[in-house]
Structure 1
């Protein structure tokens, strides 16, 4: 009986110990399982799937690639938690590239506040042309530079005038006959007055009885010399302008208003004017004139306000901003951004938006451009008031996006856009109008590029560097006259990548820059119409972190510049430029 009691006690003790040691662990395992299942469920909600051969393919569910049929793999974001189309720059890169951003806003506020941009101009009503009233040679010019202030009656120049020599002799002769022939005497005096000689000058000539060869020219108004039209020793004719004199005691603020803003403007409206030179000072004026015709090229109308400038702080050419607080709100709330913020590809206009105000994270955004105003574009769609866009260093941000395989100016679907045509992949051609001289000069650059490509096959940075330097030297000699902004943008990136290759001592880093160099070379070469022989566009789908990368070659034979001997024949010809 005691033996059974001992067995039962041992069994009970084992159950208690088993629960103590394993019960909690099993429960935790169950909880962990539930948590991991929740994580997987959450991940499945946001997980996207892509193709290792065609990274432009993105699908919310696993399956096969619609292009090549390969099984899709999970598309992961960057290690820093970035989205698929976002790029992050380091603070050092931001500083070196001098990347600057600006917060954009609507041109018209919701409270009826209307903002206009413009410039200070001379008040044309106060402009005077100081002319010569007789022909002759300028013996001395007393006004030496533009911007000099003159006062009414001030000596401006001394002129040798042969015509006045004869007229003075007539006066001296007529003076002796003024008792007997007073009409003749008066006619001679009036003749001299027509040449703007004063009574005092005429009396001095008559009293001295001597002929003067040089005559002074005096200012008829006070003001500032805005333009000097003659120099000492010049021969001038009667009525020829000598100086332009502007009265800058009052100036005009000339603003550009869009069509949709005209209903909010009227003559006599109060306008508050601010300048970049004096940001803390406000000038108050009224709209004095609204131009009756529309400028068709910019789709704007000139709006004028007159400003008091007795202290002379407002200079013609200054940029100003006008704010009208009592403008009637309209339904067309437009945004304007600096031209430096926009990258234009011919068909698309893109900007880079800073998506995180606390960190240097950017993403490309396509925008629709409206009217052009001075150095700005009107944005019809693509941006919202309050968003922050890159306004300086935009090309640098775009190059970084291409290096990281993200959406960029040239390619809005990946490192190289492709389309399926007749069962084969073809590179998309961007149409460019290249001058014949440029095409001819660019042919040796293509040869230098292919030589550089063969250098990459060796996987030796010391072999690559001199080839890149040779291509860069050749590229710098090409004239860019007649090229549009898009074509110049491609050349800028090619030069930028070549410089980076020459400065690097790491073959993999050089290859990263060669990816962008090749994409831009393909874009330009596609538009060369005088190729002596066919150029082949080849692609390695595994390069550029499985995003794919292209190169140009004279031969359809594959010599992979991105892997060299490691995978020399990896790749295929995807296009032929005839």
Structure 2
């Protein structure tokens, strides 16, 4: 047994010695070799780490050499694209994946070639009733409407048709006078004639007066007859209403002649004149062109849309045109075809109301873009002529322009909503003294309900719902009594409608949020100037929205639910004002 223990001990010692000889020496050599190779490897990796920068998805101006939290909003930093270096101040770069997902397409532009449509100006408009052919059917005497025979819009009316039957106490007395003077017409003919004339002034016919005289009976109810033929465009009274002499009952429009009203931009005015021939096309009869003549050009420019109204009169004896139809007008204008005129698709141009903008690709080999202001000439179908701002060979975005603009806005670069202008000092909302009529205030409060639902849809990030509620809010605002307001008040209301329409026609959430900034700058001061709201409202502000300039909104709840960032920063903001 002692021998066995001795053998085991010797084996252990031999094993330890062999292990040291084999692994210890190789480990030392490896350690020595590592001094050189590892230093080289370590240097390379550290170099890569130093080159990698980290940024914030919400605040691209943040650049840090290490990962961590954004010092502004606290969100996790993400790796910055190494290729983003070397861009000009207002250039943006998009990834190939983002380009493909948004279906962004570019086109190299050049001089347009002459065609038979050269110089044709295309105008958009609507069919409207001819105001010259409108007539109001009124009551000829005081009384109560016992029966209204024509009681809905769109109903056909013929001249001489009974419109309504009215109980008229004054006529009862006048009939009694007629019967009394009829027995005295031989001795007092002048008195008799005066009574008959009074009944004629109340639009009673000779046969009606003779029938009363011959029967000797006094009638309580009298008919009101149509004096013109046409279509009822508005019913202005109901059965049981008491009406005064001359009070309107119906408005009748003769649709045998209608107006086509078009919007013409400032740069098109010089090509327009009264008496000019214009061809009208409507979607209802896409293969037909209707000839018309320009009969009126509005002498006053609409400051909100920068357009003037151009009117043409159309015959409508076949009842083809319906008021409210969208139509397109084409007329011949002067267009100088020279080397400075560039033809581009209409989808490439963004119009802000004051400026026309395109996005130009500044690097032919990489998706790098920059916004460019251009001057547009005439519109020819689906194309614009560009008179200034582009040259032959320039490559511009022709599909997905708003997506590129949204990317520029997110990166804090010059965009349609942020044009890099110096910020003007804005008057505090509490100091804006605006006056509104009681009628406008009552109508305006109805627009707050869809507005608040639109705000909730922005919080939820549902672009389709945002568009729907924006359209409802715009419709409600358009129905208010805007004409009764002063110039400053009208400016705020019209700008709010303009932004709501922009939100309604845009399905990109970031663009909608950009328009929402300007909407609230105009809408919130109105809310603060009206005499109370139906419920408590809170003016809330996010200091980080609008490229860290701050942006406000209205909410019915005191708790912050940020419409500019949604789930990304749901509770970012504070209550700055309460509206009771």
User: Normalising by structure 2, what TM-score?
Assistant: 0.50
Stretch moving more, 403-412 or 124-133 = 403-412
- 1:165 is displaced (CA, Å) by 0.5
For the Cα contact (< 8 Å) 2:348–2:396, is it kept in 1?
A: no
* Residue in structure 1 matched with residue 119 of structure 2 by the alignment: 112
Question: Are 1:208 and 2:215 counterparts?
Answer: yes
Give 3-state SS (helix, strand or coil) of 2:223's partner. strand
For the Cα contact (< 8 Å) 1:335–1:380, is it kept in 2?
A: no
- 1:284 is displaced (CA, Å) by 0.8
- 1:289 is displaced (CA, Å) by 3.1
* Residue in structure 1 matched with residue 206 of structure 2 by the alignment: 199
Question: Are 1:129 and 2:144 counterparts?
Answer: no
Provide, for residues 268-318 of structure 1, a one-character-per-residue CA deviation record: whole Å limited to 9, x for no partner.
322111123332221111223334455555554433221111122212222
* Residue in structure 1 matched with residue 335 of structure 2 by the alignment: 329
* Residue in structure 2 matched with residue 228 of structure 1 by the alignment: 235
Q: Kindly tell me: are residues 103 and 173 of structure 1, through their superposed partners in 2, closer, same or farther at Cα, counting changes over 3 Å?
A: farther
* Residue in structure 2 matched with residue 284 of structure 1 by the alignment: 291
Residues of 1 paired with 2:105 and 2:284: CA distance? 20
For the Cα contact (< 8 Å) 2:157–2:232, is it kept in 1?
A: yes
Q: Kindly tell me: are residues 215 and 328 of structure 1, through their superposed partners in 2, closer, same or farther at Cα, counting changes over 3 Å?
A: same
- 1:118 is displaced (CA, Å) by 2.3
Matching of residues 541-552 of structure 1 within 5 Å: none
* Residue in structure 2 matched with residue 161 of structure 1 by the alignment: 168
Residues of 1 paired with 2:108 and 2:249: CA distance? 48
- 1:352 is displaced (CA, Å) by 6.2
Residues of 2 paired with 1:353 and 1:245: CA distance? 53
For the Cα contact (< 8 Å) 2:545–2:551, is it kept in 1?
A: no
For the Cα contact (< 8 Å) 1:230–1:242, is it kept in 2?
A: yes
Give 3-state SS (helix, strand or coil) of 1:277's partner. helix
- 1:381 is displaced (CA, Å) by 5.7
Q: Kindly tell me: are residues 201 and 181 of structure 1, through their superposed partners in 2, closer, same or farther at Cα, counting changes over 3 Å?
A: same
Give 3-state SS (helix, strand or coil) of 1:75's partner. helix
User: Normalising by structure 1, what TM-score?
Assistant: 0.51
For the Cα contact (< 8 Å) 2:301–2:308, is it kept in 1?
A: yes
Stretch moving more, 329-338 or 257-266 = 329-338
* Residue in structure 2 matched with residue 217 of structure 1 by the alignment: 224
Count of residues in Structure 1 that have an aligned counterpart in Structure 2: 380
- 1:411 is displaced (CA, Å) by 7.9
- 1:433 is displaced (CA, Å) by 7.5
For the Cα contact (< 8 Å) 1:88–1:362, is it kept in 2?
A: no
For the Cα contact (< 8 Å) 1:225–1:243, is it kept in 2?
A: yes
Give 3-state SS (helix, strand or coil) of 2:285's partner. coil
Provide, for residues 392-422 of structure 1, a one-character-per-residue CA deviation record: whole Å limited to 9, x for no partner.
9x4x665567789998667899xxxxxxxxx
- 1:472 is displaced (CA, Å) by 4.9
User: Gapped runs of 5+ residues in structure 1?
Assistant: 1-49, 58-72, 78-82, 356-360, 414-427, 438-468, 497-516, 529-548, 555-578
Give 3-state SS (helix, strand or coil) of 1:323's partner. strand
For the Cα contact (< 8 Å) 1:365–1:382, is it kept in 2?
A: no
Give 3-state SS (helix, strand or coil) of 2:284's partner. coil
Question: Are 1:309 and 2:316 counterparts?
Answer: yes
Q: Kindly tell me: are residues 522 and 127 of structure 1, through their superposed partners in 2, closer, same or farther at Cα, counting changes over 3 Å?
A: closer
For the Cα contact (< 8 Å) 2:279–2:331, is it kept in 1?
A: yes
2:373 to 367, 379, 382: 367
Residues of 2 paired with 1:267 and 1:230: CA distance? 39
Give 3-state SS (helix, strand or coil) of 1:184's partner. helix
- 1:112 is displaced (CA, Å) by 2.4
Residues of 2 paired with 1:521 and 1:300: CA distance? 29
Residues of 2 paired with 1:282 and 1:520: CA distance? 50
* Residue in structure 2 matched with residue 523 of structure 1 by the alignment: 548
Provide, for residues 243-288 of structure 1, a one-character-per-residue CA deviation record: whole Å limited to 9, x for no partner.
1111001111122334443443333322111123332221111223
Residues of 2 paired with 1:398 and 1:189: CA distance? 77
* Residue in structure 2 matched with residue 85 of structure 1 by the alignment: 93
- 1:321 is displaced (CA, Å) by 1.6
Residues of 1 paired with 2:154 and 2:548: CA distance? 50
- 1:88 is displaced (CA, Å) by 5.3
Q: CA RMSD in A?
A: 6.0
For the Cα contact (< 8 Å) 1:86–1:406, is it kept in 2?
A: no
Q: Kindly tell me: are residues 226 and 337 of structure 1, through their superposed partners in 2, closer, same or farther at Cα, counting changes over 3 Å?
A: farther
Residues of 2 paired with 1:270 and 1:170: CA distance? 60
For the Cα contact (< 8 Å) 1:518–1:551, is it kept in 2?
A: no
* Residue in structure 2 matched with residue 75 of structure 1 by the alignment: 83
Give 3-state SS (helix, strand or coil) of 2:181's partner. helix
For the Cα contact (< 8 Å) 1:250–1:309, is it kept in 2?
A: yes
Give 3-state SS (helix, strand or coil) of 1:156's partner. strand
- 1:369 is displaced (CA, Å) by 8.1
Matching of residues 451-530 of structure 1 within 5 Å: 472=459, 485=499, 493=513, 520=545, 523-525=548-550
* Residue in structure 2 matched with residue 257 of structure 1 by the alignment: 264
Residues of 2 paired with 1:369 and 1:432: CA distance? 29
Residues of 1 paired with 2:181 and 2:400: CA distance? 76
For the Cα contact (< 8 Å) 2:141–2:245, is it kept in 1?
A: yes
Residues of 2 paired with 1:194 and 1:227: CA distance? 26
Matching of residues 318-397 of structure 1 within 5 Å: 318-325=325-332, 327-329=333-335, 365-367=371-373, 389=398, 394=402
- 1:169 is displaced (CA, Å) by 0.6
- 1:179 is displaced (CA, Å) by 2.5
* Residue in structure 2 matched with residue 147 of structure 1 by the alignment: 154
